[in-house]
Amino acid sequence: MNLFGLSAFAAASLIVATASAQTAIQAGEWETTEKTTMEGVQPMPPSSKKVCLKADEAQLERLLFPTPDEIKRHGCKYEPGAKKAGVLAATLTCPPNDQVPGVTAKAEISYTQTSYQGVGQLEAADKSGTTVKGKSELSGKRLGDCPK
């Protein structure tokens, strides 16, 4: 079980739009930050990246989850959680294959039009049944208009 690959995939699952919930945020340049820890795995340094969201893709899901095509390609399932004002809850479940363990990522994110903060719970299981749990602290803020 390649735990670094698992951690990277799980983190990517929480960080990268799924068209289901469509939680509107302001378009523009966003900076996203995550810190992921997995049981029994060397801690990964926090990572951040800048993402430019155009008006037609200005949804919180665009910053947190893979695209619907990526979800489908990996045989994953996206399920929106209970709807609450200012909170996005969702679960992404991906089955194991020969290269990567199966991953279940649950996120609960509080958000405004220009920022978000929350936690993702991760659980990964390989084909032999070995399970590893982890957590991602997720945050983001709008920096302004996209650079030209």
d(CA 71, CA 17): 10
- Give the pLDDT confidence of 5-47 residue by residue, as tens digits: 444 444 444 433 333 446 889 999 999 999 999 998 888 899 9
Q: Please, which pLDDT band fits residue 94 given cuts at 50, 70 and 90?
A: very high
- Give the pLDDT confidence of 38-66 residue by residue, as tens digits: 998 888 899 999 999 999 989 998 898 88
**Cβ atoms of residues 80 and 53 within 8 Å:** no
| Tokens of residue 105, six digits | 């990522």
Q: What are the boundaries of each domain within the chain?
A: 3-144
Q: CATH for 3-144?
A: 2.40.128
What one-character DSSP code corresponds to residue 131?
Answer: E
pLDDT at 17: 33
Is the pLDDT at 88 greater than 90? The verdict is yes
DSSP string for residues in 46-88: PEEEEEEEPGGG-BHHHHHS--HHHHHHTT-EEEE---BTTEE
| Tokens of residue 147, six digits | 């650079």
